[in-house]
Structure 1
Amino acid sequence: MKTEKKSLLTKVAVGVLFVLAVVVGIILISNKNSEIEKLNEQYTNLDDMYKERDSLVNDMAKTFDEIEENLTFVQNKRNQLRIDNEEGARNEKEAIVDDIKLMNTMLEESSKKIDSLNKRLESSGIQINSFKTRIARLTKEVEQQNANIAKLEKSLEKRDNQIQEQITQITELDQKVEVLETDILQKEDSLEEASQILTQKENELNKAYFASGTFKELKENGVVTRDGGFLFIGRNEKLQDDLNESYFTELDKRNTDIFPIFSKKAEVVSEHPDSSYRYIYDENQIAYLKIEDPEEFWKITKYAVVQVK
């Protein structure tokens, strides 16, 4: 009896232990599955974080390249611009203004991209010091380029003001030149008029008259007369007081120094110094009268009369 009871107790104990072992096994299996799920979840989160990080790094690297390309373009374009104090063509000025607008637009886009990168980096919770340093450097460079563009715009404005001043000065000079030209034209007209008057007076002063012929011809044409003497002795021919100028040949004293005679004898009736002229002979006759000293010849009278015989 005792043996059966002991055997029963043993069986019960073994059964209890088996149940406990099963329960413990179930619990262990359950805990292990839970830990596996947690690990899987952590792995998934970590994988997502790495993917996000990789995406962020790629996007930021691409954006950095775009910003640096913009800054390089702006710097090169700014170096190409030359703004001096000379007046440039309108098309040149418009091109400079357009370039400045383009540079401002590119710098503004770069600033927006930098702000976007900064916000995205902060919201991601990812700490990438090299990116923060690069963002700070690009921000500073954009600010510097903005300052340079501002100086460029100020230089352009200064040049425009100087050009406007030059245009005003040129306009004033043009007006003065126009007044001077009008004054010069008036003076030229006056000088031309005075010159014409002077020429007329000189021509008038240099007018002279010549007549030749026998005494009879000269007397009949109102050029000479005789006075003095007795019985045809001591009478002298002289010019009449009221000369008939229509019988004379008008000439210019400045370019006349020869009077044709073509007679064996001749006598100068008008008053002229003997030293101021001479006769030129040809084949036993007087060919012409040659004036040797025009100033002396015409000093007393402007009428030259030669009586031929």
Structure 2
Amino acid sequence: MKHICLPILCAACAFVSCVSRRVAEQTVVQRDSLEAVVRAKDSLIEVVFADINAVTENLARIRTRENLVALARNDEGVRRPIEEIDADIAAIDRLLQENRQKIAALQRSSAQLRKADLRIEGLEKMIRDLDAQLTAKEGEIGRLRGELSQMEARMETLAEEAAARSTEVKHLSGEKAQLEDRLNTVYYIVGAEKALRDSGIVSKQGFIGRTLTVGDTGDHDLFIRADARTLTEILVEQKKATVVTPHPADSYELITNADKVVYKLVITDPERFWSSSKVLVVSYRK
């Protein structure tokens, strides 16, 4: 009897030992599975808070960019180039798009947490608030783009007006220059008395001591044309030279050499010299 019970006892012990190992192995598998689930949840929660921080930081950057744009739209006019303002608005737009992607990821993460029966206090409300802020900012960026378009149109109009004014000023400047040239155009001639009389430029008046006077011809073909602003002296190089046209005596000098030859006429006061006549006639006798 004792010989029969011993094998049965050994078999029972072996069976119990086998069952215990299986239970232990199942326990380890369950523990590992639970740890994996916990790690997945922890990782998901970390992603959630990382996305929240990213959205918050982007909103701060957006506010900074909006302040820069606002400074350029004050009552004093545009102080920054349109291109810089456009770049700021484009940067805001990129941040808004990034936030929209982050909020979509937060909504997916929140749904996963609900499926896992894990709720973070206030998370869903926080996501809704961030989404509302994002929607408001998107409206603002649309308004800013509209204002920028108006500013660009206004700047284009101003540029066209400035170009038109510049063309007008150039035209007026050209007309002014032409007028000044005409006002300062003078004519002079140095010639023998007989030749001047034969051409009708001068004539003799009176009976006793007849004097030379300028003729009434308006033809200046024989004259030399000059600019009163730059004409300072005229070569004569003749004896018995006289100024026929009326010019103030103290506004010019006839320079003679040792042989009493009038070498040149020097205009000492151009404004006074040409005030009486825009024509100068110098006559000499041979």
What TM-score does the superposition give when structure 1 sets the normalisation length? 0.68
Instruction: Give the structure 2 partner of residue 256 of structure 1.
Output: 231
Which of 44, 47, 51 is residue 70 of structure 1 equivalent to?
Answer: 44
Q: Helix, strand or coil for the counterpart of 1:245?
A: coil
What one-letter code is carried by the residue in structure 1 that aligns with 2:212? Answer: E
Measured on the aligned residues, the alpha-carbon RMSD in Å equals 2.9
Deviations 1:113-143 (A, max 9, x none): x22xxxxxxxxxxxxxxxxxxxxxx5125x4
Q: CA deviation at 1:252?
A: 1.1
Q: Which moved more, 1:242-251 or 1:193-202?
A: 193-202
Instruction: Determine whether 1:82 maps to 2:58.
Output: yes
Whole-angstrom CA distance in 2 between matches of 1:244 and 1:235: 24
Q: Which moved more, 1:296-305 or 1:95-104?
A: 95-104
The 5-angstrom pairing of residues 283-294 of structure 1 reads 284=259, 285-294=261-270
Instruction: Determine whether 1:159 maps to 2:121.
Output: no
Whole-angstrom CA distance in 2 between matches of 1:75 and 1:209: 93
What one-letter code is carried by the residue in structure 2 that aligns with 1:148? Answer: M
For the 8 Å contact 1:281–1:287, the answer to whether it is kept is yes
Instruction: Give the structure 1 partner of residue 76 of structure 2.
Output: none
Percentage of matched positions with identical amino acids: 22
Q: Helix, strand or coil for the counterpart of 1:200?
A: helix
Instruction: Give the structure 2 partner of residue 238 of structure 1.
Output: 213
Instruction: Determine whether 1:194 maps to 2:169.
Output: no
Instruction: Give the structure 1 partner of residue 105 of structure 2.
Output: 102
Q: Which moved more, 1:241-250 or 1:94-103?
A: 94-103
Q: Helix, strand or coil for the counterpart of 2:119?
A: helix
Q: CA deviation at 1:77?
A: 3.2
Instruction: Give the structure 2 partner of residue 31 of structure 1.
Output: none
- Matched length: 239
Deviations 1:80-113 (A, max 9, x none): 341214324455543333233223222322221x
Q: Helix, strand or coil for the counterpart of 1:255?
A: coil
The 5-angstrom pairing of residues 261-276 of structure 1 reads 261-276=236-251
Q: Helix, strand or coil for the counterpart of 1:241?
A: coil
Deviations 1:16-56 (A, max 9, x none): xxxxxxxxxxxxxxxxxxxxxxxx9xxx9xx97x9887766
Q: CA deviation at 1:201?
A: 1.5
For the 8 Å contact 1:273–1:296, the answer to whether it is kept is yes
Which of 159, 164, 185 is residue 163 of structure 2 equivalent to?
Answer: 185
Instruction: Give the structure 2 partner of residue 208 of structure 1.
Output: 186
Q: Which moved more, 1:82-91 or 1:286-295?
A: 82-91
Whole-angstrom CA distance in 2 between matches of 1:201 and 1:88: 53
Instruction: Give the structure 1 partner of residue 12 of structure 2.
Output: none
Structure 1 portions without partners, runs of 5+: 1-39, 116-137
Instruction: Give the structure 2 partner of residue 217 of structure 1.
Output: 195
Whole-angstrom CA distance in 2 between matches of 1:140 and 1:155: 21
Whole-angstrom CA distance in 2 between matches of 1:222 and 1:158: 92
Q: CA deviation at 1:260?
A: 1.2
Which of 273, 282, 286 is residue 306 of structure 1 equivalent to?
Answer: 282
Instruction: Give the structure 1 partner of residue 7 of structure 2.
Output: none
Q: Helix, strand or coil for the counterpart of 1:212?
A: strand
Q: CA deviation at 1:257?
A: 1.4
What one-letter code is carried by the residue in structure 1 that aligns with 2:240? Answer: K
For the 8 Å contact 2:58–2:95, the answer to whether it is kept is no
The 5-angstrom pairing of residues 35-74 of structure 1 reads 58-74=32-48
Whole-angstrom CA distance in 2 between matches of 1:69 and 1:57: 18
Whole-angstrom CA distance in 2 between matches of 1:306 and 1:97: 93
Structure 2 portions without partners, runs of 5+: 1-14, 66-88
Instruction: Give the structure 1 partner of residue 149 of structure 2.
Output: 171
Q: Helix, strand or coil for the counterpart of 1:229?
A: coil
For the 8 Å contact 1:229–1:236, the answer to whether it is kept is no
Whole-angstrom CA distance in 2 between matches of 1:292 and 1:186: 43
For the 8 Å contact 1:222–1:244, the answer to whether it is kept is no
What TM-score does the superposition give when structure 2 sets the normalisation length? 0.73
Structure 1 residues 105 and 282, CA gap change in structure 2 (3 angstroms) = farther
Instruction: Give the structure 2 partner of residue 124 of structure 1.
Output: none
